[in-house]
Amino acid sequence: MKSIHTFKQCTSTIGTILPRRLTFTGARLTTTTSTSTNPAASVTGYALCSVNGCSFRFLGTSTRSTTRFVHELEKEDRSSHRLTTLHNHYRTLCFINSTPKRQMSQSSWTGPFGKDLVFRQLLEYKSYTYTYLLADADTNEAVIIDPVIETVDRDVKLVHDLGLKLIYAANTHVHADHVTGSGSIKKLIPTCKSVIAEVSKAKADVKVNEGDLIKFGKFKLEVRSTPGHTDGCITFVLHEKGLVFTGDALLIRGCGRTDFQQGNPGSLYDSIHKKILSLPQSFYVFPAHDYTGQTMSTVGEELRYNPRLTKPKNEFVEIMKNLNLPYPKQIDKALPANMVCGVFDVPESS
């Protein structure tokens, strides 16, 4: 771990805190701008830091606490993990006064679809649900698709870890198999708005319809109406990156069931063929569930290998009518909760 960081000697004086600029990239803590005599510093007593491109100030409750922070940095023994521990210790306080301005495009903490898009696929094991976190790496504006109530803490922590500003929690439909995390997320991040299809008749901050655009930073998700599993099912398309989030309409080598909640196999067949499989074959398919442990597919693969959707419509309808699936375990709890999520509190019992 030697030479992981260079930590220059400080020139601060007790009582007159001189601001310095530190760059902390992972375990690498480096002084990038040593010292400047900022008049404001001697008055308020603060340390300017930059953590992985995210600039923030440490504003102690007193000049003394700020001094202690700076001096603890000074006397560090250049062991990177000790610096990390110190940093973590002060992080909460620091972020209170932070002005997040991450440079994700430089730090590359994004995702596989290019340096300008943050992308994370997350899984909830109980209902086999995939949640997706997307963000513009420059503005940090983020959208979460299909969050689950059980994993909200994990998701919100990741949002914070990645320095994101979550502006939308978007649901592809009124889920019957799990309670959405939208309501809980809004409690933790009050600026986040819930989104659902207007057709669903569920309550949410933002109701969307065919052709609407959900914007985050320079990106936009196109809303496509894809009824069949439910009336209010929507699919999100991120054209710039060739990604399609299909909810419970198209699944990997499968599709959503059509035997409850306005389910209609004929509609589902048309929705999938007209709105999803008509996209370029290279588009990546990210569904709301997979029960076999596959994480992604492509339009091309589903056109060729989906055992149901490669059938003629009449055969597809017959297949869907004869699946004889069990009643969804969580439906009686999930449906009423999901019809009001994001506006009212989710039931305490959930």
Q: Which of 30, 48, 101, 113 binds its own copies (CB under 8 A)?
A: 113
The structure tokens 């959900």 sit at: 214
In the complex with its own copies, the residue whose CB is nearer, 142 or 335, is: 142
User: Would you state the structure tokens that stand for residue 201, as one six-digit string?
Assistant: 């008749």
**Length of the chain, in residues:** 350
Give the Cα separation of 226 and 288 in Å (integer): 14
Relative to beta strand 193-197, strand 165-170 is parallel
Nearest distance, CB of residue 115 and its own copies, angstroms = 9
Q: Does 124 bind its own copies (CB under 8 A)?
A: yes
Nearest distance, CB of residue 293 and its own copies, angstroms = 4
Q: Does 292 bind its own copies (CB under 8 A)?
A: yes
Q: Does 121 bind its own copies (CB under 8 A)?
A: yes
Task: Give the 3-state secondary structure of residue 223.
Answer: strand
Strand boundaries in 149-271, DSSP class E: 165-170, 193-197, 206-208, 213-216, 219-225, 234-238, 243-247, 250-251, 254-255
Q: Does 34 bind its own copies (CB under 8 A)?
A: no
Q: Which of 311, 319, 330, 331 binds its own copies (CB under 8 A)?
A: 311
**What distance lies between CA 93 and its chain's CA centroid?**
24
Q: With CB under 8 A as the contact rule, which of the stretches 139-147, 208-216, 303-311, 318-326 interacts with its own copies?
A: 303-311
Q: Does 284 bind its own copies (CB under 8 A)?
A: yes
- Asked if residue 169 lies in contact with residue 134, where contact means CB atoms within 8 angstroms, the answer is no
Q: Which of 48, 59, 93, 303 binds its own copies (CB under 8 A)?
A: 303
Q: Which of residues 199-218 bind its own copies (CB under 8 A)?
A: none
Give the Cα separation of 20 and 34 in Å (integer): 5
The structure tokens 């094991």 sit at: 125
In the complex with its own copies, the residue whose CB is nearer, 223 or 299, is: 299
Q: With CB under 8 A as the contact rule, which of the stretches 120-128, 198-206, 211-219, 326-334 interacts with its own copies?
A: 120-128
Q: Which of residues 251-280 bind its own copies (CB under 8 A)?
A: 273-274, 277-278
Exposure of 324 by Cβ count < 10 A (0-12 exposed, 13-18 middle, 19+ buried)?
exposed
Residues that bind its own copies (CB under 8 A): 1, 24-28, 52, 79-82, 84-85, 88, 107-109, 111-113, 119-125, 128, 151, 154, 158, 161-162, 273-274, 277-278, 281-282, 284, 292-296, 298-301, 303-305, 309-313
